[in-house]
Copies of this chain bind each other. A is one copy, B any other.
Amino acid sequence: MRPVESSPIRDLLALTAHPEMISFAGGLPAPELFDLDGWRRAFDRALTGPDARRNLQYAPTEGNLALRGLVAERLTARGVPTGAEDVLVTTGSQQALTVVAATLLGPGAVVAVEEPTYLAALQCFRMAGARPVPVTTDEDGMVPGSLAEVLERERPSLVYLVPNFANPTGRTLTAARRLAVTELAAAHGVWVVDDDPYGELRYRGEPLSPLAGEGVVSLGSLSKICAPGLRLGWLRAPAALMPRLVVAKQAADLHTSTVDQAAAAIYLAETDLEAHLATLRTEYRTRRDAMIAALPGAVPDGTRWTDPDGGMFIWLHLPGAVDTATLLRGALREQVAFVPGAPFFATTPDPSTMRLSFTTNTPDQIVEGMRRLARALGE
Contacts and interface: CB of A to CB of B under 8 A. Distances in A.
Interface residues on A, range: 35 or more
A10 B253 contact: no
Interface in A19-65: 26, 28-29, 31-32, 34, 36, 39-40, 43-44, 47-48, 52-59, 61
B5 A259 contact: no
Contacts of A26: 58
A255 B231 contact: yes
A6 interface: yes
Q: How many copies does the complex hold?
A: 2
A228 B56 CA distance: 6
Interface in A237-266: 243-244, 246-248, 250-260
Interface stretch (A98-106, A139-147, A308-316, A367-375): A98-106
Interface string A170-189: 00000000000000000000
A58 B28 contact: yes
A260 B106 CA distance: 33
Interface in A83-102: 90-92, 94-95, 98, 102
A92 B250 CA distance: 11
Interface of A: 1-7, 10, 26, 28-29, 31-32, 34, 36, 39-40, 43-44, 47-48, 52-59, 61, 90-92, 94-95, 98, 102-104, 106-107, 120, 123-124, 127, 129, 223, 227-231, 243-244, 246-248, 250-260
A102 B58 contact: no
B227 A95 contact: no
A255 B28 CA distance: 14
B44 A56 contact: no
A58 B244 contact: no
A127 B57 contact: no
A40 B57 CA distance: 14
Contact of A44 (B44, B223, B248): B44
Question: What 8 A-B pairs are tightest by C-beta distance, nearest first?
Answer: A229-B258, A56-B227, A40-B47, A31-B53, A56-B229, A95-B253, A91-B253, A43-B43
A206 to B, nearest CB: 30
Contacts of A251: 94, 98, 120, 123-124, 127
A330 B127 CA distance: 45
Nearest to A47: B40
Contacts of A259: 39, 43, 229-230, 260
Contacts of A106: 1-2
30 contacts: A1-B106, A2-B102, A2-B103, A2-B106, A2-B244, A4-B247, A10-B61, A10-B250, A28-B57, A28-B58, A31-B56, A34-B57, A36-B47, A36-B52, A40-B47, A43-B44, A43-B47, A57-B227, A58-B228, A91-B257, A94-B254, A98-B253, A107-B129, A120-B250, A123-B251, A124-B251, A127-B248, A231-B255, A231-B258, A260-B260
A246 B106 CA distance: 22
